[in-house]
Amino acid sequence: MHNFLPIAYFQNKFLPFAEANVSIATHALHYGTGALGGLRGIPNPENSQQVLLFRLERHCQRFSNSAKFLHYDLPADKIKQIIIQFVEQNKPTASFYIRPFIYTSGLGISPRLHNIEKDFFVYGLEIGDYLPPEGISCRISSWYRQEDRSLPLRAKISAAYITSSLAKTEAFESGFDEAILLNSQGKVSEASGMNIFIVRNGELITPGFDQDILEGITRDSVITVARNLGIKTLERPVDKSELFIADEVFLSGTAAKVTPVKKVENYELPKTRPITESIREKITAITENRDSQYSDWVDVISI
* 70 half-sphere exposure, CB direction, 13 A CA radius: 31
Q: Domain-by-domain residue ranges, the chain?
A: 7-126, 136-287
Show the low-confidence residues of the chain (pLDDT under 70). none
What is the architecture of the domain spanning 7-126?
2-Layer Sandwich (3.30)
pLDDT of residue 132: 87
Other beta carbons within 10 angstroms of residue 31's beta carbon come to 18
User: Where would I find the H helices in the chain?
Assistant: 27-31, 56-69, 76-90, 161-173, 217-228, 240-245, 274-287
For the stretch 182-195, pLDDT in tens is: 999 999 999 999 99
- The burial of 261, by beta-carbon neighbours within 10 Å (0-12 exposed, 13-18 middle, 19 or more buried), is given as buried
Q: Model pTM?
A: 0.95
pLDDT of residue 127: 94
What is the architecture of the domain spanning 136-287?
Alpha-Beta Barrel (3.20)
Cβ atoms 178, 229 nearer than 8 A: no
The set of residues, in sequence order, having a beta carbon less than 8 Å from that of 102 and lying 6+ positions away, is 34, 35, 36, 63, 66, 67, 70, 72, 74, 118, 119, 120
Other beta carbons within 10 angstroms of residue 271's beta carbon come to 8
* Dist. CA 239–CA 120, nearest whole Å: 39
**Please, what is the angle between helix 217-228 and helix 56-69, to 10°?**
140
pLDDT of residue 129: 87
pLDDT of residue 133: 87
Cβ atoms 200, 246 nearer than 8 A: yes
